[in-house]
Amino acid sequence: MSLDIIAYDPVETENRKDKFEEKYNVPFEKFENDMFIPSKDDFFYYLHPQWLENDTKVYKEMRKAAERIQDFAEIDSYHIGYGHFHFLRKELGELVGVRHDDSNPFDPRIYYDDELVDTALLSFFLHSDCDGTFSSYDIQKSYDQFLKLCDGKKLQEKKAGKWRNEIDEFLKFWRKSSEQKLQWEFC
């Protein structure tokens, strides 16, 4: 199983969602929850079977428009296995005062320096790796905090080790997302 972090422009995505809502008079989020799938089993279509065919065509058009919104909004992405992402964050965390204790697999713990309390950087290390979003603001703040707190000497040592490629790729992805004010979707 692998993790995909999709980086997208949140402003452009919202504009596309607004246009979708204007055109179809349905909020994009409600449509995404599949609340509008026409079915002959619905009571409404049982009473009005003549509208099922037309509504099904409209639904298919809406589905294609929704897919285009998601496809075109993606600017970059980062792909990694879930386990690898855990270890990557563990490696990066050591550079800024975040320590993982995985000695008990049923009760993993994370320790961090007081200066990280209530920061975007700590939010990055605590964020779910399965789902959810990480805002463009949090990406920018966490990246800036990482650069500020990162031990440069240790970073160079880690880049010389076995996590070299993953660290380089992720830091480039993080920097690009920060510079372009992108938002992340974990999936």
The sign of the torsion formed by the CA atoms of 23, 29, 34, 36 equals negative
In this structure, the strands spanning 74-81 and 98-101 are unpaired
User: What pLDDT shows up at residue 48?
Assistant: 82
- pTM for this one? 0.78
From 120, 121, 98, select the one nearest 110 (Cα to Cα): 98
End-to-end CA distance of the chain: 11
Q: What is the DSSP string of 71-97?
A: HHHEEEEEEEEHHHHHHHHHHHHHTTT
| Stretch 70-76: mean pLDDT | 78
Per-residue model confidence as pLDDT tens digits over 84-124: 999 999 999 999 999 999 888 888 899 999 999 999 999 99
Q: What is the three-class DSSP state of 6?
A: strand
Q: What residue spans of the chain are helical by DSSP H?
A: 10-24, 28-32, 43-47, 52-73, 82-94, 120-126, 136-149, 152-159, 164-179
Contact 134, 124 (CB under 8 A): yes
Per-residue model confidence as pLDDT tens digits over 21-52: 899 888 887 776 666 678 888 888 878 888 88
